[in-house]
Structure 1
Amino acid sequence: MKLMIIESPGKKKKLEEILSKIRPGESWRIEASVGHVRDLPATGQGENDITSGVRADFMPTYELTERGSEVVAKLERAVSQASEVYLATDPDREGESISWHLKEALALKNPIRVAFNEISEGKVRDSLAAPGRIDMKMVGAQEARRVLDRLVGYMVSPELKRQTGERLSAGRVQSPAVYLVVKREREIQAFKVTAHFGARLIFAGAKMGETWEAEWMTAEGFVTDDSPYFMDKRYAELVAAVRGVVVSSCEETDQSRNPPAPFTTSTMQQAASNALKWNPDTAMKIAQQLYEQGHISYHRSDNPNVSEEAMPEIRAVAQSLGLEVVEKRRVFKAKDGAQEGHPGITPTHWEVEVAGETPEQRELYKLIRIRALASQLMPALFKVRTVYLQAAEPVEGKTVKFGAAGRTLVSPGWKALLANDATADDDEKEGEDDNPIPMLSPGSALSAVNGELLDKKTKAPKRYTEASLVKALEAEGVGRPATYAAILNNIINTRGYISVDKNRQLRPEPVGELVIQRLEGKFSFLDIGFTRDLEEDLDKIAAGQAQYKGVIQKLHSSLDAEIKSQVATVATFKKEVPVYPCPLCQKPLRRIANGANGPFWGCTAHPDCKGTAPDEKGVPGKPKEVKLSNYPCGKCGKPLVHKKKPGKDGYDFWGCSGFSATPACKASYPNLKGNKPDMTKGR
C-alpha cells in the first residue's frame, strides 16, 4: 500500500478518483494532516530561551499541537503499513514546512515529495512521474517567518501591557496593517475642505438631442502649483456665461486597452470584496473549496499569468464564444518578489462554464474563469477625440481656454466578455463613451448652448475598505498575499483593533489607536520600510540568498534595544483603585464578596461604624431607603422601623433606626395586629 498525506481532507475524494484512473493497478491510501501538526509551544520559557519556543541561539523548538497529537497517532499506524509515503501538501512555503514537520514527527526516512498546482488528472500524473524531495530553503523561510512573528508578539506585547495595564497585542505584520488604517484616519480628521470653482460649457452634438461638454482649463494662467485652486466665484460665473468660442485644435487618436491579468491571491481577494462583497477570509475559504474540488488551480499564487499549455484550451473556448485570442500568449509583469513557480488562479477545465457545489462557489468560479479567459483576448480599441477651445472674447482682459476629451469604443475585444476590472474601486473605474465630441476644424467658431458654474470642494482621503487595504499591503510589501486574509481577520474580528462600518469602510477603534500610539516612533518593526525589508529577507532565505540566523538576529537586536529603552523611560502602569465613601461616616467602604446574601460593601471603620451599601456590578449602589415610623424607641427615642420578611425563615418585628449609629441601639418590639409595635414587651 502507498500512503499519500495531504493537508486538507477536502481533496481526498477527488484525489482518490484520480488515482484510481491513472494508477489502476496500485493500492493507495490518502490521509490528511489537517494543516500543521507541530508548532512553537504557546507557554513555557526555558532558562536558555529568548521567549517561548525560541532558544538563545535563535533556533525554534516544536511540540505537537493538541490536534496534531491525534493526527500523528493515526498517521503512524498508516505509515507502518505503507511501502512508500508521499507527502502531497500544498505547493508553497507553508506546504513545504508541513511536509518537513510530518517527516520529523513521523520519523520518515525517505518520504517522496509531490505537489499539485491543480487537482486534475494531468497535474497529478505529471507530479507522480517527477517526484522530488522537501525543499529545505523554503522550509527555512517559513520557519524564519514563524520565529519573527513569535519574537514580536511575545517580546513587545508584554511591554505594551506593562505600560498600559491592558492586554494589548503587537504583531510583526498586524501592527503595520493597523498603522495604515490609523494614519489614514488621522489624515481624514486633519483634512480641511477647500471650496473652489470652475466652469463648464455645453455644446450641441452631431446627433439630434446629443450634447458634449468642455471644461475651463484653470491651469492656463489662473492657478499655480503653489496655489492650485481657483477661489473667485464671481469670475468663474463670468466664464460660465461665455457662449462664443473658437476651436484651437481637434485631434483624433487610436487607443488600445489591454485586459486585466488573471487573478493572483491578492487581486482575487480585492475583486471578491468589490464584486461579491466578501471579506478576504471568505474569499480564501471558498477558493480553497474550489481548488479541493478540482475546479481551479492553486489559489495561493503571486503569478499573474496563464500557462503556455493552457492556450489551446483558451483558444477553443474563445472560438466557441465568437471571440478572438491574441496570437502570442499575453504575459503580465509580476510584482517585485513574486514567487512565480505556478500560474495565476485559473480554471482547470476551461470549457466548464459553471462549477462549484454552492452558489458562493459558483459565483467565485465565474469571476475567476471570465477574468482568466479575458486576459488572452484582443485589446479593446477606442477612438479618442481631444479638442481645445478659446473664448472668442477675453474675460475681463484675460484669455480663457477650455478642453474636452471623448472616447468611442470601436472594437470591444476583451470587453465583450468582461466589462470592468473588479479589483478597481468605483472611483478608479474609467468613464467611457460619455462625451461625444464631433470632429471640428481648427479656427472654426462654435456657440455654447449653455454654461454651468462648477462649485467644487476638495475631498479628504478615502477610508480603506478591506479590498483597498489588501491592495495597500501588497503595494507596500507588508506581509504576503497568502497571509492577508488572516491579517485582516485578526485585526478586525479577533483583536477588535479595526471595525468595518455600514459602508464597508475600515475605522480604527480606540484600542487600536492606543496600540499604535505606544508603538509609533519607538519600535522599528512598525515602520513600513523595515517590514518590507524583512519580507524581502524571507524571500532571500527561500531562494538560498540569505541565512536564517542573520535575519532573526537583525530583528531580535532591534527589539531588545527598543524594549530596554522603553523600560528605562516609560513608567509602569499603576491601576488607580477608586475610593467609595461610607454613607454614614465618609470613611472608605470595602467590598465583602461572601456576605450572607451575596456581595455587599461595608465600612472599613466597622465595628465602630455599621454603614453598608449594596453591590451593583462591582461598585457600591445606593443604600436601601429605610421607612421611618412615627413610633419612638422606648430606649433612645429614635424612630422605630417595621422589619418584615415572609416565609419559613421570616420575621416580623419593630427595630430601632439607631441600630447602625454610634453607640448602637439594639432595642426591638413585637408587632401587634394592625402593624404597630407592642411597646410593653421591648427587648
Structure 2
Amino acid sequence: MVAKSLVIVESPAKAKKIGKILGSDFVVDSSIGHIRDLPRNAAEIPAKYKGEKWARMGVNVENGFEPIYVVPKDKKAQVTKLKKLLKDSDQLYLATDKDREGEAIAWHLLEVLKPKVDVKRMVFNEITEDAILNALQNSGELDQNLVEAQETRRILDRLVGYEVSPVLWKMVRPRLSAGRVQSPAVRIVVQRERERIAFVSASYFSIDAVFETEEKEMFDAKLLTIEEKKIATGKDFNSTGELASKKVVLLDEDAARDLQQKLTGQAFSVTDVDRKPYTRKPKAPFRTSTLQQDALRSLRFSSSRTMSAAQRLYENGFITYMRTDSTTLSESALTAARNQVAGLYGKEYLPDAPRTYGTAKGAQEAHEAIRPAGDTFQMPTDVAKQVNSDEAKLYELIWKRTIASQMANARGERLAVRIAGESTDGRATVFGASGLTITFPGFMRAYVEG
C-alpha cells in the first residue's frame, strides 16, 4: 500500500471540495470543528482534577490560568478515525481556517493526534485550484501567537461566564448567561435605554411649500427662516425637551397654520442660487461587519443567515474567507475586478490606478476582503444556477461591492436655491430647495449601498 498525504480541514464540505482538487495522492478529511475544548460539565472533568476548587471552570487559576482540555464524547469517534488515517500517511497537512480559531484547531489536532510524520500548516483564503495548490507548495509552520490569542479569549470566556452567570441567576432569573462580549454589550444597551427613558419629547412644526415658476414648472421647498431667524428642528432641542438656543424660532401647530395661510398665494423670488460640484467615492470591499450590515439593509438577512450563506459560498469555492476585518484585495483580485469593469461598463469607468483602502487598526493583514473567488470573477447569473436563493443573493451583493470598489467616482452637481417672500402681515420668510444631478454615475452603475 502506497502511503498518502493526509490533509485535515474543519468541515466535511471543505474536505469534499479540496479532495477533488488535490486528487488521489491525498486523503482529505475533517475535524468537524474543534476536537478539544474545556470541560462542558462535571462528567467531562478528568478524575485527577475533580477535587480542585477550580475544576468546574476547567482553568487552573492557581497555576498561571492553565487550561484543562478534553476531547468531548461526540468527537472521540472522529479523533479515532483521524488517528487511523494518519497511520497510513507519510505527511500531515493542517489546512484549517486562516484565523485564530483555525490556528487553534490545528494546534489541538497536533496535541491529540501526536503525529510521527512531517507536519505542515497549509493556509489559503479561497477554495480554488490555484489557491489550494499554491498553499500546498508554500506550506509552513503553525503561528503560535494566533494559538495563544485564541486560547486567551477562550479562557476569558470561561472565567467571565462561569463567575458572572451564577450571580445573574440569583439576582435576576435562572438560565441567564454572561460572557466576555455579551455582558459589555448588554451594558451599552441598558445605558442607551436609560437615556431613552429619560428623554423628554418636544414638538415643533415647519412649513413645506410647492412653488410654480413662470414656465409652469413645480418644485418643493421648506421654510428655513422667519425674520432672519432659523426655524427650530429636532436637533435644536436638548434631552430635556427645551430649545438649546434662543436664536431659533419655534412654531407650534397654530402658528404654523396661521403663517401658512398668510403665505399662500404671495409672490416669491429667487434670491440665491448656489451650484457646487458633487463627487462620491465607492465604498471599500466587504469585511465581515460591513457584509452583515449591508445584507440586513439590502436583503433583510439576519447576521446568522448572512454568515450561514457566506460559509456555504466559501466552502464551495465561490467567495474568499468570510471572517475578516481587512478591506485589502490581492493583486490578482484587483486585476480581475478592473478587467470586469472595463468589459462590462467601458474603460471610462476605471480610475487611473487600482483603488486601495485603509484597514482598521488591529486588523489581521494576512487576510483579504470578502470578494468573489478566483482570478476571474464568476458573474452572479452563472453562480445563481449553482446555489440556493440566499447564496445567490449574497454572492451578487459581494460581487457588486467588489466591482464597484474598483470603479471611478460618481460625479454631478449640487444645486441649492433660496426663495424669499413676505406674508400678508409683513413677515419676511426664506424657503430653501436643493437637488442633485448626476452627470456621470461611475461606480453607481454597479452598486449603491443599501
Same fold (TM over 0.5): yes
> 2:47 matched to which residue of 1?
none
Aligned in 2, Cα 1:164/1:180: closer, same or farther, shift over 3 Å?
Answer: closer
* 1:301-380 correspondence runs (5 A): 301-323=324-346, 324-348=349-373, 349-353=376-380, 354-355=382-383, 356-380=386-410
> 2:418 matched to which residue of 1?
388
Structure 2 unaligned segments of length 5 or more: list them.
43-49, 237-242
Q: Point out the more displaced range, 352-361 or 222-231.
A: 222-231
2:251 matches 1:231: yes
Q: Distance between the aligned counterparts of 2:219 and 2:434, measured in 1?
A: 13
Q: Distance between the aligned counterparts of 2:295 and 2:173, measured in 1?
A: 39
> 1:53 matched to which residue of 2?
58
2:168 matches 1:145: no
Q: Structure 1 counterpart of 2:431, which letter? A: F
Q: Distance between the aligned counterparts of 1:196 and 1:149, measured in 2?
A: 48
Q: Structure 2 counterpart of 1:54, which letter? A: V
Shift of 1:261: 2.0
Corresponding pairs, count:
415
* 1:36-435 correspondence runs (5 A): 36-44=34-42, 46-47=51-52, 49=54, 51-55=56-60, 56=62, 57-108=64-115, 110-164=118-172, 166-204=174-212, 209-217=217-225, 220-222=228-230, 223=232, 226-227=244-245, 230-240=250-260, 241-242=262-263, 243-323=266-346, 324-348=349-373, 349-353=376-380, 354-355=382-383, 356-391=386-421, 393=422, 399-418=428-447, 420-422=448-450
Q: Point out the more displaced range, 409-418 or 1-10.
A: 409-418
Aligned in 2, Cα 1:86/1:192: closer, same or farther, shift over 3 Å?
Answer: same
Q: Secondary structure at the match of 2:131?
A: helix
**CA deviation string 1:449-492 (max 9, x = no partner):** xxxxxxxxxxxxxxxxxxxxxxxxxxxxxxxxxxxxxxxxxxxx
Shift of 1:206: 8.2
> 1:611 matched to which residue of 2?
none
Q: Give the structure-1-normalised TM-score.
A: 0.57
Say if 2:8 and 2:15, in contact at 8 Å, map to a contact too.
no
Shift of 1:220: 4.8
**CA deviation string 1:503-522 (max 9, x = no partner):** xxxxxxxxxxxxxxxxxxxx
**CA deviation string 1:363-410 (max 9, x = no partner):** 11111111111111111112101123333x478676433322211111
Aligned in 2, Cα 1:46/1:203: closer, same or farther, shift over 3 Å?
Answer: farther
Shift of 1:351: 3.7
Say if 1:308 and 1:329, in contact at 8 Å, map to a contact too.
no
Q: Structure 1 counterpart of 2:413, which letter? A: K
Shift of 1:346: 0.7
Q: Secondary structure at the match of 1:159?
A: helix
> 1:19 matched to which residue of 2?
22
Q: Structure 1 counterpart of 2:148, which letter? A: G
**CA deviation string 1:121-146 (max 9, x = no partner):** 22112211211111111111111111
Q: Distance between the aligned counterparts of 1:165 and 1:319, measured in 2?
A: 60
Q: Structure 2 counterpart of 1:39, which letter? A: D
Say if 1:197 and 1:229, in contact at 8 Å, map to a contact too.
no
Structure ranking higher in helix proportion: 2
* 1:536-555 correspondence runs (5 A): none
Q: 10, 29, 46: which one pairs with 2:13?
A: 10
Shift of 1:51: 4.7
Q: Distance between the aligned counterparts of 2:172 and 2:335, measured in 1?
A: 62
Q: Distance between the aligned counterparts of 1:74 and 1:111, measured in 2?
A: 18
Q: Distance between the aligned counterparts of 1:406 and 1:205, measured in 2?
A: 16
Q: Secondary structure at the match of 2:251?
A: coil
Say if 1:215 and 1:404, in contact at 8 Å, map to a contact too.
no
* 1:433-472 correspondence runs (5 A): none
Shift of 1:76: 0.5
> 1:622 matched to which residue of 2?
none
Aligned in 2, Cα 1:229/1:361: closer, same or farther, shift over 3 Å?
Answer: farther
Q: Secondary structure at the match of 1:332?
A: coil
How many percent of aligned residue pairs carry the same amino acid?
Answer: 37
> 2:26 matched to which residue of 1?
28
Aligned in 2, Cα 1:220/1:72: closer, same or farther, shift over 3 Å?
Answer: farther
Q: Give the structure-2-normalised TM-score.
A: 0.85
Say if 1:113 and 1:131, in contact at 8 Å, map to a contact too.
yes
Structure 1 unaligned segments of length 5 or more: list them.
21-25, 423-683
Say if 2:124 and 2:131, in contact at 8 Å, map to a contact too.
yes
**CA deviation string 1:199-233 (max 9, x = no partner):** 23322258755423243246952556614671344
* 1:422-571 correspondence runs (5 A): 422=450
